[in-house]
């Protein structure tokens, strides 16, 4: 953006969409350990996830269910921040929706607590589950924010995909 004098100006904000996509992921077929989807990731720069900064997310997809429980989690650097598990459901398929956020708690460092919350809604069976947790991460290095899923039971019918995702960075202070 140019100022009235024609010189560039810096625009600051406290909220910015950093990722938005309606691309389908590949299907995770019966993952019995937390497995990341192949799409819907964003990079968080070193020293960015600090106190006063949160990354909000919303994502949706489809599932097929044969047996067991289903967990969905935001992940940093391949490790779960927090995971929610829905109870056993009848076999079948349907749509799911998840929302939540992760938050920095201190200045960047080699082992800093990152807090997270996630709510998962399974539409057809109207099951909702929310969880909150804390895990330590090296926030002084860059991290990949991704999402993963896990089924508690090995069943050939279990599968899950993501069909859309939006990630928004929010801060208590303006950023460029």
Higher pLDDT, 155 or 136: 136
How many CB atoms are located within 10 Å of the residue 111 CB? 9
In a domain, 6, yes or no: no
Domain count of the fold of the chain: 1
Residues above pLDDT 90, as percent of the chain: 66
pLDDT of 83:
76
Q: What is the pLDDT of residue 8?
A: 66
What's the pLDDT score for residue 65? 85
Does 100 score more than 90 pLDDT?
yes
Is residue 78 domain-resident? yes
3 within a domain of the structure (yes/no): no
How far apart (Å, rounded) are the C-alpha atoms in residues 95 and 108?
37
H helix runs in 21-161, sequence order: none
- Percent with pLDDT over 70 in the chain: 89
**Residue 102 near residue 112 (C-beta atoms within 8 A):** no
How far apart CA 69 and CA 138 sit, in angstroms, is: 30
Mean pLDDT for the chain? 89
Query: Do 85 and 173 meet the contact criterion of CB atoms below 8 Å apart?
Result: no
What's the number of CA atoms in the CB half-sphere (13 Å) around residue 163? 9
Q: Is residue 99 situated within a structural domain?
A: yes
pLDDT of residue 90: 61
Q: Hey, what are 65's tokens? A: 């269910």
Comparing 49 with 127, which gets the higher pLDDT?
49
pLDDT given for residue 1 in this prediction: 47
- pTM, two decimals, is 0.88
Domain assignment present for 48: yes
Q: In this structure, what CATH number is given to the domain that contains residue 19?
A: 2.60.120
Read off the pLDDT of residues 150-168 as tens digits, 9 standing for 90 and up. Answer: 998 888 789 999 999 999 9
Query: Domain for residue 105, yes or no?
Result: yes
The answer to whether residue 146 sits within a structural domain is yes
- Predicted confidence at residue 5, as pLDDT, reads 66
* pLDDT of 31 strictly over 90: yes
The answer to whether residue 72 is domain-embedded is: yes
Q: 3-state DSSP call for residue 113?
A: strand
* Tokens linked to 49: 């996830």
Q: Give the domain range for residue 41.
A: 15-175
Range 128-140 average pLDDT: 91
């Amino acid at each position: 953006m140019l100022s009235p004098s024609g010189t560039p100006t810096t625009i600051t904000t406290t909220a910015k969409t950093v990722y938005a996509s309606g691309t389908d992921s590949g299907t995770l077929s019966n993952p019995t350990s937390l497995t990341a989807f192949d799409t819907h990731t964003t990079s968080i720069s070193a020293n960015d996830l600090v106190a006063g900064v949160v990354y909000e997310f919303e994502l949706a997809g489809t599932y097929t269910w044969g047996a067991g429980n289903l967990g969905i989690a935001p992940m940093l650097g391949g490790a779960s921040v927090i995971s929610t598990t829905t109870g056993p459901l009848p076999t079948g398929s349907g749509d799911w929706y998840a929302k939540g956020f992760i938050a920095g708690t201190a200045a960047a460092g080699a082992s800093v607590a990152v807090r997270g919350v996630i709510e998962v809604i399974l539409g057809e069976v109207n099951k909702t589950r929310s969880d909150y947790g804390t895990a330590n991460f090296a926030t002084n290095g860059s991290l990949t924010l991704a999402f993963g899923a896990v089924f508690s039971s090995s069943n050939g019918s279990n599968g899950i995909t993501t069909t859309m995702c939006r990630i928004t960075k929010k801060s208590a202070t303006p950023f460029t």
